[in-house]
Amino acid sequence: MVGAHRFESLALSYNLTSMTNLSIAIHGGAGTILKKSMTPEKEAAYNVALQAALDSGYVALKRGATAIDAVEKSVSALEDSHLFNAGKGSVFTADGTHEMDASIMDGSNLNAGAVSLISGVKNPVQLSRLVMEKSDHVFLAGDGALKFAEQMKCEFKDSAYFYDEFRYNQWQEVKGTDQFQLDHSISKEHKFGTVGAVALDQFGNIAAATSTGGMTNKKFGRVGDSPMVGAGNYANNETCAVSCTGSGEFFIRAVVAYDVSCLMEYKGMSLKDACSKVVQDRLVKIGGDGGLIAVDAQGNICLEYNTEGMYRGQRNNQGINEVAIYK
């Protein structure tokens, strides 16, 4: 009986090992990203930043971190880069300030946290996690959210930290006008500046996180899809974890992230088919452009977009490890 017991233990151990797929995907925004408007240096810088953000979450997963920890790490890394429209690289509002949004969701228990219209916080995604874990609420915004951040002793940075010459010049182009997005120009890429991550950990749990610096020259305290559970971010172990980037208003109206989940849960679609249906069909029908990244509890990854390009990366423990920008 001792031998039989030992055999069972070995089998269990083997199953656990084979079950422990690890997957992570990230994005740094989607839009009109054309190779001809890139320099080799700029492209290399983007690839390095994407790989570093991807690795920070993946290495954490390999060391036993939860999916929530991994997506927080990867998104924090993207927020700390001046290249992406989130955290340090946030664009300027019409008032010359920075208003950032972020959210996070844990697929194992459907817990979620979100913040909107916050200024000065170094890592909005970390604040959204504190909202999830340390407040009675899901979604805090504006001055109230900043008061909460102070109580939580979040790291704040002054305006010099968020200043970037490129972003400032972007703002100067449209300052004083009603323009908040530059259609039909190469600057359109910045319209969709959002970062995000989705991950599967060794415990079989999935999670999603999203962060954005909003739109250049945006006014009126506009809230996009990024901090909205179900629209720009969603995670549920039963289906998928999703982080979106695109023309936020359309993503809100189409409840994009939860739509992917519902197509899987209610129609029995695969992750790939559900993502394709939402991004290439349902979203297009109402005029929305952008993309999303998604992972399911089996470790499948999907990077879907209907734009020219999407800053993106994916890595798993089955040999995939890549970053990309164009189609």
Residues with catalytic function: 194
User: Judged by CB, which is closer to a copy of itself: 160, or 266?
Assistant: 266
Q: Does 320 bind a copy of itself (CB under 8 A)?
A: no
Give the helix/strand (H/E) hosting 115. strand 111-118
Using rule CB under 8 A, residue 283 touches a copy of itself: no
When asked if residue 192 is in the footprint of a copy of itself (CB under 8 A), the reply is no
Number of residues near a copy of itself (by CB under 8 A): 44
Q: Which of 207, 268, 203, 263 is nearest to 233 (CA)?
A: 207
- Tell me: does residue 266 bind a copy of itself (CB under 8 A): yes
Q: What is the DSSP code (8-state) at residue 123?
A: -
Taking CB under 8 A as the criterion, the residue among 253, 273, 306, 321 binding a copy of itself is: 253
CA quadruple 56, 62, 65, 69: dihedral positive or negative? positive
- Write down the residue that tokens 């994009």 correspond to: 256
C-alpha 145/C-alpha 260 separation (Å) is 29
Query: Quick one: 100 exposed, middle or buried, by C-beta within 10 A (0-12, 13-18, 19+)?
Result: buried
222 forms part of the interface with a copy of itself (CB under 8 A): yes
- Judged by beta carbon, residue 24 or residue 117, the one nearer a copy of itself is 117
Q: Does 230 bind a copy of itself (CB under 8 A)?
A: yes
Q: Which residue number, 58 or 234, has a Cβ lying nearer to a copy of itself? A: 234
Contact indicator for 277, 263 with CB cutoff of 8 Å: yes
112 binding a copy of itself? (CB under 8 A): yes
Residue 126 CA neighbour count, 13 Å, CB half: 19
- The stretch among 11-19, 75-83, 262-270, 302-310 that binds a copy of itself (CB under 8 A) is 262-270
Pairing of strands 23-31, 194-200: antiparallel
Q: Select the residue interacting with a copy of itself from 140, 198, 207, 301 (CB under 8 A).
A: 140
Cβ closer to a copy of itself: 49 or 263?
A: 263
Q: Which residue is listed with tokens 């029995």?
A: 268
249 binds a copy of itself (CB under 8 A): yes
Q: How far is the CB of 109 from a copy of itself (least distance, A)?
A: 8
Q: DSSP characters for 255-323?
A: THHHHHHHHHHHH---HHHHHHHIIIIIHHHTT--EEEEEE-TT--EEEEESSSEEEEEEEETTS-EEE
Tell me which stretch binds a copy of itself (CB under 8 A): 26-34, 62-70, 83-91, 223-231: 223-231
Give, as ranges, the residues between 147 and 176 that touch a copy of itself (CB under 8 A). Answer: 147-148
Coil, strand, or helix at residue 325? strand
Q: Of the candidates 213, 224, 309, 313, which one interacts with a copy of itself according to CB under 8 A? A: 224
For residue 216, the minimal CB distance to a copy of itself (Å) is 13
- Does position 259 bind a copy of itself by CB under 8 A? yes
What CA–CA distance (Å, rounded) separates 93 from 273?
Answer: 37
Tell me: does residue 130 bind a copy of itself (CB under 8 A): no
The residues of the shown chain that bind a copy of itself, judged by CB under 8 A, are 110-112, 114, 116-117, 135-145, 147-148, 180, 219-224, 228-231, 234, 248-249, 252-255, 258-259, 262-263, 266-267, 286
